[in-house]
């Protein structure tokens, strides 16, 4: 392996074709695990809003559960990311996280009260919090060999294939008269398969960190300002993004059939996968400048999702899925682009902590504003997207200065 010309530009490494094949295999195997996991929890996520309503939850309660579960799931990732940077126990943490994440879903079938179901939603998010920063760090090692945008895009595409299949499975259960409880129970099968597959991946790639070798360089002195601007941009842009649970609640209140709601969620996940492949490719070309697409697309989601006409509401999942594809691909690739390997765990944790805080306050506020009227929702969402533009401009300026100093030290 020849010496890279830039400390934190992993894609400049001269790498053997064998290492590239190993990296691609690891990305695809982790993608398979995510596919099976997404069949499980995205299948449940597509109907958990109406399910909570059936159990007696109000619109505000659903918005709060959605927001707080994301807050719990994202903020805890800060601790998880810090732990993985310190101890490097990748596979142990991944298995623990996936176990809690996946087992919580079929247990929803046993919930008799919305409060119990809410606790299981919280547990599912907590499990995801444990394993997500670890998975993203492992993916960064492998993706450094084929392009950060491409690596995360491939993983996201497989991930979203599972997110498409999951709601279809739940919808099929509904169509055959099974109802919510049987729908959750059926999801125990992909949950078990995901855990088995993860065990096999761990055996095949016990030391994923060996796929990338770089030094810490000048990051600590010059990169902090970039990270701060990055996180500020993420916070504003995500706070105005409506959670699908609340959108699903509005769909149900607007007369959509129970089986239609998860099908529309599958459509959103399909768009997510396609958007990830597109933006991942362009991220490797344009870098952080591509982030501006997030607030632009997000600003149109709320006006469509909470409209009165069903045709407009049905179009909203397309934009919602496109934004999710950007979140899952270029936001993660951005962290790996800015940070060296030894700091990516805490970096992914910080990113997700900001995401969680934004989801919590944004989701709760949108749930409350839902009762006040359509234009309150639209004004809140669009205003936050506009607030994300100044941090974006600051981010690009700081990143240019940062890259110049990195080049000087190379």
Instruction: For 389-403, write each residue's pLDDT tens digit.
Output: 999 999 999 988 888
Q: Does CATH place domain 12-409 in 1.10.240.10?
A: no
Asked if 160 contacts 270 with a C-beta cutoff of 8 angstroms, the reply is yes
Residue 7: per-residue pLDDT: 40
Percent of the chain, pLDDT > 90? 58
Residue 401: per-residue pLDDT: 85
Sign of CA dihedral 386, 391, 392, 397: positive
- Give the Cα separation of 134 and 41 in Å (integer): 19
Residue 49: per-residue pLDDT: 86
Within a 10 A sphere around the Cβ of 225, how many other Cβ atoms? 15
Asked if 161 contacts 35 with a C-beta cutoff of 8 angstroms, the reply is yes
Residue 352: per-residue pLDDT: 87
Confidence band, pLDDT 50/70/90 cuts, at residue 410: low
Percent of the chain, pLDDT > 70? 93
Within a 10 A sphere around the Cβ of 16, how many other Cβ atoms? 10
Asked if 278 contacts 220 with a C-beta cutoff of 8 angstroms, the reply is no
DSSP state of 327: I
Confidence band, pLDDT 50/70/90 cuts, at residue 10: very low
For the chain, the average pLDDT equals 88
The residues spanned by each domain of the chain are 12-409
**Average pLDDT for residues 39-66, to the nearest whole number?**
88
Residue 47: per-residue pLDDT: 87
Asked if 8 contacts 219 with a C-beta cutoff of 8 angstroms, the reply is yes
Residue 340: per-residue pLDDT: 82
- Give the Cα separation of 12 and 129 in Å (integer): 31
Instruction: For 309-347, write each residue's pLDDT tens digit.
Output: 989 999 999 999 999 999 999 999 999 988 888 889 999
Predicted TM-score (pTM) of the model is 0.82
Residue 357: per-residue pLDDT: 86
Least confident window among 29-33, 42-46, 406-410: 406-410
């Amino acid at each position: 392996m020849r010496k890279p010309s830039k400390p934190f530009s992993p894609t400049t490494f001269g790498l053997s074709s064998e290492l590239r094949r190993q990296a691609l295999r690891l990305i695809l195997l982790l993608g398979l695990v995510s596919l099976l996991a997404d069949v499980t929890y995205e299948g449940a996520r597509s109907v958990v809003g109406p399910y909570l309503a059936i159990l007696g939850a109000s619109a505000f309660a659903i918005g709060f559960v959605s927001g707080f579960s994301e807050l719990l799931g994202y903020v805890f990732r800060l601790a998880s990311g810090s732990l993985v940077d310190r101890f490097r126990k990748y596979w142990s943490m991944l298995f623990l996280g996936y176990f809690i994440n996946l087992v919580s879903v079929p247990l929803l079938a046993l919930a008799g009260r919305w409060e119990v179901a809410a606790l299981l939603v919280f547990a599912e998010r907590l499990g995801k919090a444990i394993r997500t920063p670890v998975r993203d760090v492992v993916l960064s090692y492998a993706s450094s060999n084929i392009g950060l945008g491409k690596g995360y895009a491939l993983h996201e595409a497989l991930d979203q294939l599972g997110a498409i299949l999951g709601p279809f499975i739940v919808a099929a259960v509904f169509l055959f008269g099974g109802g919510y409880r049987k729908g959750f129970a059926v999801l125990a099968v992909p949950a078990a398969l995901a855990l088995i597959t993860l065990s096999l991946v761990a055996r095949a790639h016990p030391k994923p960190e060996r796929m990338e070798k770089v030094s810490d360089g000048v990051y600590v002195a010059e990169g902090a300002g970039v990270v701060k601007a990055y996180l500020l941009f993420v916070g504003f842009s995500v706070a105005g993004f409506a959670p699908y649970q609340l959108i699903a609640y509005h769909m149900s209140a607007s007369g959509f059939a129970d089986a239609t709601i998860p099908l529309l969620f599958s459509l959103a996940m399909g768009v997510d996968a396609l958007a990830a492949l597109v933006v991942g490719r362009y991220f490797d070309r344009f870098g952080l400048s591509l982030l501006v697409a997030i607030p632009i697309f997000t600003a149109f989601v709320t006006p469509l999702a909470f409209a009165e006409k069903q045709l407009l509401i049905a179009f909203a999942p397309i934009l919602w899925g496109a934004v999710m594809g950007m979140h899952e691909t270029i936001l993660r690739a951005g962290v790996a682009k800015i940070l060296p390997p030894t700091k990516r765990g805490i970096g992914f944790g910080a990113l997700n902590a900001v995401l969680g805080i934004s989801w919590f306050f944004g989701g709760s506020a949108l749930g409350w504003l839902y009762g006040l009227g359509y234009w309150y929702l639209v004004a809140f969402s669009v205003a936050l997207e506009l607030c994300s533009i100044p941090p974006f401009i600051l981010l690009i300026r700081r990143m240019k200065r940062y890259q110049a100093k990195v080049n000087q030290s190379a």
